[in-house]
Structures are given as structure tokens and as C-alpha cells.
């Protein structure tokens, strides 16, 4: 049991503390600025580890409460119904009809049409009865008929947001019956007080456990729902009722001299522009084919029909095309790098390879609204802040997030001390309104309220495609069925009901980004890839690939002999002490210290699992760079921490300006 406990703690430690993940107080969000008055990187440690901590409800927990409240039909009379986003109302020679994507036109009975035209997510059943001069009973009968035909949704739905409890409260506050309103708000207030107790407990373990237990008990009693979602491949992040995000006490000021060493990054950005341009061109062609098929002999179609014809979004061909273009990107980089056979280190000069980069990656540019963003994660490799000031440092390019602004994610926005600054930067990037798709509240394994974009502005439009996850009371909210797609000078354009026009790729922007956001890679498809450095920037870490069976020590029964054999195995192959491992059988990358028996055991188990599942499959071992001796970030007590700098690069050459916006 002690060994199992040690391994469990080691698993959690490497998951939350070694990688630079933003997870509660294990990975607080810190903010910094570029400052010409400092010589390297200057840290103001503040007081303690965190300056603030916020506790949020997971969206699913408040959705569960909404479902419970929906059981009261008296309350539902105050919940406005709305038309399904992809149900288009049309008119022809035979009368009025509803068209659903991929389905024949369905005639609308004359007695239902007036109500169908009015349901907008704002009018309650009483409002509809009054506006249509119908008796309450008949109005409800018509509404239920529309729901039965699946043209209308009549549910208590919580708009997406970082504070779903506040969103639900706003819905319930609109209930006109005071007694019903109080009754609906009461269970919500119980959960709100529970969340406040969890937040107040802070890092007091005993108080925190008591507060969490009380909240879970109240939640289960009120909703008759388990307070923890089961872990599985179909479960989105945030399995608990609540989660916390924190802001770090320390702030940093970075010298322009450090930024100057990021010059090679511009070559990477050129390559990214090539990738997104080729992908945009490809997807435009495929979406155009779908448009021509859907519209038939009509000059236009509705956005809903086009979207469903392109599933899985942005198109059925989107993944193979992303694979193809990503492979071509790696091939072009291989020609530029031209690493000698068996080399472990490749040192290049940005000046020497600049012409080759432009030869490989120049060309006409295209894209979608989000593809103007590239968000590189950069790590400083230095003993301490003083070493940075002396110029004794190197930089490491971590992940390069393509076509996304990582700082726009809710988890960062909600921890910024002055959100208006981020909005102002968004205004600079997009001086005019944007058209953005309403996104699902969550997706299995990767998407939750923490990751949703949170820098939207009142002037931006949201379009509901398949799900309506925004507040219907928000202005500039439209349904996909009401958006017309037409050809404007050879480019598909989305025309909104108010006449505003946008490049149709803007609607597909997040789907496009999801296909390419992690496609930047310099490493070829090989069992050994050298470390590649351009000037002082490591653009690719050294890595190795092995089948599970090649880790012969993994089958050793004796822990002591397994540890010795693992160290010998590592030495024979020239692996560093600290590495990260990615295996097809493991849910996420994990850290290994070859000097720590517990981590050797974790690696051995992963190798055995891989060998059993697929003897031919390979795991990838990548050097940890920077390694622990390069932890330059300190707190007020001198403790050191791993860290990374998150930058957002914005293409200033291609400005938004009507259609096309690229």
C-alpha cells in the first residue's frame, strides 16, 4: 500500500506541478509586460504564491439544476421557447414550409404559423398567447405541437459562460410570478452559498474538505444527480461540481533584448502562414462543392443546410487535408534543416536559412478570422533571473498554437487584473464586428467553460448553428437557418438578416482551427530527431521513439533490478535524466525522472500496457527542456517554479475590412 500511495502521489505531482498547465493553485496565471527599463527579466514576487483565487461551477452542474427545475410546469410557463437554429421557414407556391437540413420540406399548418414566426427565446407562453390573441390553453396546445414537430425547443437552458449560476439566475429573475421565482431561486441560492464556502476555505485542507462535502450533499439532494461525473472517453473536463482558477502573486517585466532573441520565430510564423493559407484554400474548395450540391438550381442556400452538408465540420475532407498539408510542412522544414544522419544537435543561423524559408513557404495568403493569430509558448532556459540579465540564457519554443489566441480563453480572461485591456487589444485586431459561431458548452476530453473564447464584444454577432448556447436576449444573435450564403465575386459570403456580410469561413473558424492548431512540427517522422536550434532559440527538442517491447527493463519483476536495468538502458541510448513520454495508451504526456525509482515504475507500466495493446505501436520520449535546474521564476521565499511565457502574435498585414475579411 505505501508503494501504491507513493506512485499515486507521484502521478498527481507530475500531472499538476511539473508541466506548465494552468490548473488551480498548481498552475496559477501570472501576468507580465515588456519593459525597456529592465535588462533581462525582472520578477516582483508579490506575497505568497497566489494573489487571488476564484471558484466556478462546472457548466454541467448548473445544467443539472436547470433540468430539475424544469419539472415544474408552472415555472415552464415563464421560460421562453425558441425556434430550432437550423429550422428554416420558407414560402413557396404551395404555402409556408419548414426546411430542416437533409429533410424534405414540411408544410406548416396555418394555425401554427403565427406562433412559429414569433417564438424567439424571449417571449413566454403568456406573451405568445397575448400577442396572438389566443386562449392560454390553445396557445399551449399550439406550442406543444411545434415542439412535437421538432421545430421549436421549450426547455430551461442555461446560456454558456464562466459563471453558469449567474446565467441561470438571470433567467429565473425574469419569472414574473414572485412565488414561483422565489421557489426556483431557493435551491440555486443553496448551491451558491456552498460555492462561496468552498472559495472561502482557500487552502485550508480541513475546511475545504468540509465545504466540498456539504456542497456535494446539497447538490445530490436537490438534483438527484451524482456530484462527480464518471471518468471516461465521453466525459468533458471539469468532472467535479466546482473548479478553481487563480492569479499568481508574482508579476514579471521582460526586456526587449529577450524578445530580440525570438527573431527566428518569425521564420516559424511564415511557415504557419503557409500552412493556414493552403488549408483555407483547400477548405474553401470543398465547402464550395458542398454549397453547389446543397443549393441545386437556386443561387443561394441557408447557412444551416451548408453547415450540415459539410459535417464533420469544416468538411468531411478536413482531417485528411490537414494531415497532408502538415506532412508537407514537415518535409519542407526537413529540406531547410538538412540535418546530418545521426546528428543529435543542429545549430542554424536565422540569417543563413531565411532565404530557404521564404523559398519553401512564400506564396499567396488566405485564411479565416482566427488564422491571423498564432500563440507560441516560449520557455526561458537560464539558471536564474540574473543569468538572463547577463545574456546567459537560451529560449525554447514549446507549443505553437496555430490560428488561436490562447489568452482569449475564459480561464485567462477571468484572471486578468484589467480585462478592458484585453478587449482593447481585440478592438485593435478587429476594428469592426465579427461573426462567431456559438460553440458547445463542452466536448469530451478537451473542451469546457474554461477554454471557451471570452473576449466577445457587444458589436460582435453570434450565430447558432446546431445548438443555441448564448442568451437569446443578447442583441446580434442569429439563427443559422436565417443566414443566407451567396457568392460575392467568387467568394462565399454569409449574409445576416440585417444585411451584414461576412466571409463564410468565419462561421467555420473554430472548426478550421481545431484541425490545424497543433500541426506545427519541424520533426520528421523518424525514430530519432535531433535538437534543432536557430540562433538562441530551440525550435525542436531531441526525441526518440520506441516500441513497448524495446523497453526491456519493463518486464523485470524485481523493482531493484528493474531500476538498474532502466538506468543502463537510458545510458546506452544517450537519453537525458528528465524526459516527457507520450504513449498511445496513456491519456496525456507524463514526466519521467530516470533517477527516481517511482517514475521508472510508472514508465515500465506504460510500456507494458503499450506492448500488450499493440506490439508495433511506439511511444515517444522527448527531452525535458528547460530542465529543473533552469527554473528562474521565484516566489517571495526563494522557491523556484517551472514556467512558460505565453505570447500572442497577430498578423498585422491582413486587416479585417468587410468581405473578404482576410
**pLDDT tens digits, one per residue of 273-315:** 999 999 999 999 999 999 999 999 999 999 999 999 999 999 9
Look up residue 302 and give its three cell numbers: 441557408
State pTM to two decimals: 0.93
> With contact defined as beta carbons under 8 Å apart, do 142 and 151 qualify?
no
In angstroms, rounded to a whole number, what is the distance separating the alpha carbons of residues 564 and 183? 66
Instruction: State the DSSP code for 283.
Output: H
Architecture of the CATH domain 80-153:
Alpha-Beta Complex (3.90)
Strands (E) in 569-612, as ranges, are 578-582, 590-593
- The pLDDT of residue 656 is 47
User: For residue 533, what are the β-bridge partners?
Assistant: 347, 538
> With contact defined as beta carbons under 8 Å apart, do 152 and 143 qualify?
yes
Give start and end residues of each alpha helix (H) in 338-390.
350-361, 385-390
Three-class DSSP category at 38 = coil
In angstroms, rounded to a whole number, what is the distance separating the alpha carbons of residues 404 and 648? 9
Three-class DSSP category at 528 = strand
Which residue bears the cell 473548479? 243
In angstroms, rounded to a whole number, what is the distance separating the alpha carbons of residues 182 and 173? 9
338: left (phi over 0), alpha (psi -120 to 50) or beta: left
Look up residue 192 and give its three cell numbers: 451558491
Nearest to 69 by CA among 175, 149, 144, 163: 175
Helices vs. strands in the chain: H and E counts, helices first? 20, 30
Three-class DSSP category at 483 = coil
In angstroms, rounded to a whole number, what is the distance separating the alpha carbons of residues 467 and 464? 6
Give start and end residues of each alpha helix (H) in 253-310.
256-260, 265-295, 303-309
Domain ranges of the chain: 59-69+159-239, 80-153, 256-338+350-521+645-650
Nearest to 236 by CA among 440, 56, 483, 25: 440
Look up residue 544 and give its three cell numbers: 526518440
β-strand pairing of 82-83 with 649-650:
unpaired
The pLDDT tens digits of the residues spanning 160-170 come to 999 999 999 99
Give the Cα-Cα-Cα angle 399, 404, 406 (nearest 5 degrees). 65
User: For residue 92, what are the β-bridge partners?
Assistant: 95
- Average pLDDT across each block of 10 residues of the chain; the chain has 662 residues. List them in order: 84 85 86 92 94 95 97 97 97 90 94 97 97 97 98 97 97 97 98 98 94 98 92 73 95 94 96 97 98 95 98 96 97 96 96 97 93 96 93 96 96 95 96 95 78 95 96 97 96 97 97 96 91 98 97 95 97 97 93 96 97 96 95 92 95 58 40
In angstroms, rounded to a whole number, what is the distance separating the alpha carbons of residues 135 and 129? 6
Three-class DSSP category at 301 = strand
Amino acid at each position: 500500500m505505501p508503494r501504491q500511495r507513493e506512485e499515486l502521489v507521484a502521478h498527481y505531482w507530475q500531472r499538476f506541478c511539473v508541466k506548465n498547465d494552468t490548473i488551480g493553485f498548481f498552475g496559477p496565471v501570472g501576468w507580465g509586460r515588456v519593459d525597456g527599463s529592465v535588462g533581462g527579466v525582472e520578477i516582483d514576487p508579490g506575497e505568497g504564491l497566489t494573489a487571488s483565487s476564484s471558484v466556478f461551477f462546472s457548466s454541467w452542474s448548473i445544467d443539472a439544476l436547470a433540468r430539475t427545475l424544469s419539472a415544474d410546469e408552472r415555472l415552464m410557463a415563464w421560460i421562453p421557447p425558441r425556434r430550432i437554429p437550423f429550422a428554416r421557414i420558407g414560402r413557396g407556391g404551395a404555402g409556408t414550409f419548414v426546411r430542416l437540413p437533409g429533410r424534405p420540406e414540411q408544410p406548416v399548418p396555418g394555425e401554427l404559423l403565427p406562433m412559429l414566426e414569433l417564438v424567439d427565446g424571449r417571449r413566454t407562453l403568456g406573451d405568445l398567447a397575448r400577442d396572438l390573441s389566443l386562449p392560454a390553453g390553445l396557445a399551449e396546445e399550439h406550442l406543444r405541437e411545434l415542439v412535437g414537430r421538432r421545430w421549436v425547443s421549450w426547455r430551461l437552458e442555461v446560456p454558456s459562460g464562466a459563471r453558469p449560476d449567474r446565467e441561470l439566475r438571470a433567467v429565473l429573475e425574469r419569472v414574473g410570478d414572485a412565488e414561483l421565482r422565489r421557489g426556483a431561486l431557493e435551491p440555486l441560492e443553496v448551491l451558491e452559498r456552498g460555492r462561496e464556502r468552498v472559495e472561502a476555505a482557500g487552502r485550508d485542507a480541513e475546511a475545504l474538505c468540509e465545504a466540498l462535502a456539504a456542497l456535494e450533499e446539497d447538490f445530490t439532494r436537490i438534483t438527484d444527480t451524482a456530484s462527480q461525473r464518471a471518468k471516461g472517453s465521453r466525459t468533458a473536463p471539469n468532472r467535479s461540481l466546482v473548479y478553481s482558477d487563480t492569479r499568481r502573486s508574482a508579476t514579471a517585466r521582460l526586456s526587449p533584448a529577450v524578445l530580440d532573441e525570438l527573431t527566428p520565430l518569425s521564420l516559424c510564423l511564415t511557415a504557419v502562414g503557409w500552412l493556414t493559407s493552403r488549408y483555407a484554400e483547400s477548405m474553401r474548395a470543398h465547402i464550395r462543392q458542398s454549397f453547389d450540391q446543397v443549393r441545386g438550381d437556386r443561387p443561394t442556400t441557408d447557412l444551416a443546410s451548408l453547415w450540415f452538408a459539410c459535417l464533420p465540420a469544416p468538411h468531411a475532407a478536413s482531417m485528411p487535408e490537414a494531415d497532408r498539408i502538415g506532412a508537407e510542412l514537415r518535409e519542407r522544414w526537413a529540406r531547410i534543416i538538412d540535418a546530418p544522419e545521426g546528428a543529435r544537435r543542429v545549430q542554424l543561423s536565422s540569417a543563413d536559412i531565411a532565404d530557404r524559408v521564404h523559398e519553401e513557404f512564400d506564396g499567396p495568403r488566405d485564411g479565416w478570422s482566427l488564422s491571423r493569430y498564432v500563440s507560441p509558448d516560449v520557455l526561458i532556459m537560464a539558471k536564474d533571473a540574473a543569468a538572463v540579465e547577463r545574456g546567459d540564457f537560451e529560449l525554447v519554443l514549446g507549443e505553437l498554437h496555430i490560428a488561436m489566441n490562447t489568452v482569449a480563453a475564459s480561464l485567462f480572461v477571468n484572471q486578468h487584473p484589467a480585462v478592458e485591456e484585453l478587449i482593447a487589444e481585440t478592438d485593435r485586431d478587429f476594428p469592426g464586428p465579427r461573426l462567431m459561431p456559438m460553440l458547445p458548452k463542452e466536448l469530451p476530453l478537451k473542451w469546457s467553460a474554461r477554454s471557451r473564447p471570452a473576449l466577445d464584444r457587444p458589436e460582435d454577432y453570434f450565430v447558432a448553428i446546431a445548438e443555441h448556447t448564448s442568451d437569446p436576449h443578447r442583441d446580434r444573435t442569429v439563427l443559422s437557418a436565417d443566414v443566407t450564403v451567396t457568392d460575392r465575386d467568387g467568394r462565399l459570403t454569409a449574409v445576416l438578416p440585417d444585411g451584414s456580410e461576412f466571409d463564410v469561413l468565419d462561421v467555420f473558424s473554430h472548426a478550421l482551427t481545431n484541425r490545424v492548431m497543433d500541426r506545427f512540427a519541424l520533426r520528421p517522422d523518424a525514430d530519432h530527431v535531433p535538437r534543432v536550434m536557430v540562433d538562441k532559440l530551440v525550435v525542436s527538442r531531441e526525441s526518440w521513439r520506441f516500441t513497448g517491447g524495446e523497453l526491456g527493463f519493463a518486464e523485470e519483476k524485481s523493482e531493484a533490478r528493474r531500476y538498474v536495468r532502466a538506468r543502463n538502458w537510458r545510458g546506452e541510448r544517450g537519453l537525458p535524466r528528465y524526459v516527457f513520454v507520450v504513449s498511445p495508451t496513456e491519456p496525456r504526456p507524463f514526466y519521467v525522472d530516470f533517477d527516481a525509482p517511482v517514475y521508472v515504475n510508472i514508465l515500465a507500466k506504460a510500456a507494458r500496457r503499450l506492448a500488450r495493446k499493440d506490439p508495433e505501436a511506439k511511444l515517444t520520449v522527448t527531452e525535458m527542456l528547460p530542465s529543473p535546474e533552469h527554473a528562474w521564476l521565484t516566489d517571495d521565499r526563494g522557491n523556484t517554479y517551472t514556467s512558460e511565457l505565453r505570447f500572442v502574435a497577430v498578423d498585422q498585414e491582413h486587416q479585417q475590412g468587410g468581405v473578404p475579411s482576410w
